[in-house]
Structure 1
Amino acid sequence: MARNIFSKLLRVPTSMQLACLRTGSLLQEKAAAVKVPGSRWSSSNSPPEKISRYPIPYKKDLPYDIVELMEEVESKGGFLPNIFRVLSHRPAEFRAFFAYYNELMNKETGRLTKADRELIVVATSSHNKCLYCVVSHSALHRIYSKNPTLSDQVVANYKVAELTPREHAMLEFAMAVCRCDTITDKHFQSLEEVGFDREDAWDIAAIAGFFAMSNRLAHFTDMRPNQEFFNLGRVPRDKSKDKTEDNYVVKEGKLPKYLSPAGYVKSLETASMKLGADMRMVKVQMMEKREKATKHSRSTTAAANFHSLQIASASSWSRNLCAMYDTSSKMRKISGGGMPTPIPRVPTPQTPPGGSASSPRDP
């Protein structure tokens, strides 16, 4: 009796037991949320920050060229832009997207600077209400132009932004294409008045058209910009930490742990250019391999034929020589003359593998 009363006094209340169980389950969830290398996110119970409506492929499931490109961008820029992760859902479209991106944004011909191209993207993406492109390309414009505020003005209202007449005419033409306005000769004349030509007009329109597609892809996938984009080009870099890629990576054997805006831009350009170069290189390598295979086949056939011809000629010559020797011997015996000097045996060339050759007749 006394033992039962004592056990009731020491019994833990039910509410406290439930609290302990709840706390224990939370601790287990936190322990399970430890990041596993090579996984898509930390754990199945606690997904990472949402960057797209579509699933992000596992790294091990992606083609090698795409993985190599993504690792290069991340190592040089300090972070991987989310557009790489989102578009990796469709590798073929990933390659096509960045190949055309490189042709438009990194070309060295024409009168458009890289800052001009980024400003076009900012203005048209703002009109299309694309959060990802506005944030990411505003950052790139700040880096290229060294102007930390102009892209913000263009996002708000490009018509009252502190633009030069050249930039204003450029954006007016780009916005006319973006809004699907009727393009007339007056639009081209406005560009020509500030120094652009018809080829520059094509570049402006192509950029506006390409990013109209990009804006809509970002819309329906609910693509979210990286947090790193917001400070790019705004906060001055610490020059004491501004180490070059060669000094930091090659000499120390480490990857950069700081965020370098210039490094990000360089990595993005290098990555897109490398992707286009890789695609061309694959075609060249395929053609070279096909040509080498054809040449090898022809040379092998020619060598075999020549070797067979050598064997046949040597065998025929040896037989004729032996026949002449036999005839000469018989004639000397009939006339009572002595035996002629023996004719040395002609060696027969070696038979190639898989072939056969006639051996000369003994004298």
Structure 2
Amino acid sequence: MREKILSVLAKEEADQFRLLQDLVLQPSYSWFKEGVDRVGRLLAEELTTCGMDMEVIPGEKLGNQLVFRSPATRKSGKQLLLVGHMDTVFPEDSSFNWYKDDGQLVKGPGVIDMKGGLVVAVSAIRALYHCGLLDTIPLAFICNSDEEIGSPESVPLILAEAEKSFAAMVFECGGLDGELVTGRKGKTGYRLDVSGRAGHAAFAGRDKASAVLELAHKTIALEKLNDPDRGVVVNVGVVQGGMGPNSVAEKARAEIDTRFLTEEDASRVAGEIAGIAGSSTIAGTGGVLLKTSSRPPMEQTDNNRALFALVRDQAESMGITVVEELRSGVSDANTIATVGIPVIDGMGPVGGSDHSDREYMIRSSLPEKSRLTALSILACWEKSGREHE
């Protein structure tokens, strides 16, 4: 069966790049619902013709969420979950709106983040279909529309499908040195609003209740929370306040990003930040803290490493090397991890410079990752899935 799968994929390589070009040339900025939904229709054309059932969860302001299911999911038991996002960071009027393939590199908006990953998943599913395996292997493939803005509408869907799954694969880009992701830091964002007392700078004296000065003290205290040994990052990335150089600032604001490896550190850092926000160095000032975003950590569990080992075995059988990675950025894999099932990320093709007009894919990695994904799905079902039939 392995050889049959590889043979099918070898014949469909041209179709992989045809689909990639169609997806890349369709703008799908997170807030451009019409464009994201067009991407969804392109994926539906590929997957409903190979026996996958499609569920559409309509979005009002954001694109529709899609779930494709193999016929085997109609039976009772657990499924293998695949996840990829259809949105990109590039607005529909961006000048980065072209596709170029020079035989070595493919360039274009979203080519690896993550339209290439969508193609990998679609190609693997189609290969399994042509080998008659979709009636046996229960697969669910979520194509969500909002990952680049934190998955605000798709998180409940991802959690619900993860609860029904025995393992999951996410198709963000792989690393340039063969990295597959077994862990990701968590992330929490905050906004800190500081209030003071306005006045004329010329007459304020030393006891002025300047919100800007108070925020400066708080910024220093926040930055001291960085702890490289524990993998804790605290970054005050935006600071603004005041209305003029001759006025004592009545208001100031900071935006803060935090990263952490464990829930324990997340709770500890959250408490420390709340303490800094709630205390004052300058009399007459105060602070209000608002959480603006949050993603839990994807810890490097034994289950994640066991899933990685299974994928690594398939890679080695293909003559390629993969290594595990702890990645600082977040993805939908962080959400899946909270359910406790094994999850691996970075199953998409390899490239770099994502979120910029230099985004590129190493061309050979697209068919390579398609082969690896198809074989890994089969191996995962043979090793772990059958017990959930």
TM-score by length of 2: 0.21
Where is the helix percentage greater, Structure 1 or Structure 2?
A: 1
- State the structure with bigger RCO (CA 8 A, min sep 6), 1 or 2: 2
Larger radius of gyration: 1
More strand by share: 2
TM-score by length of 1: 0.22
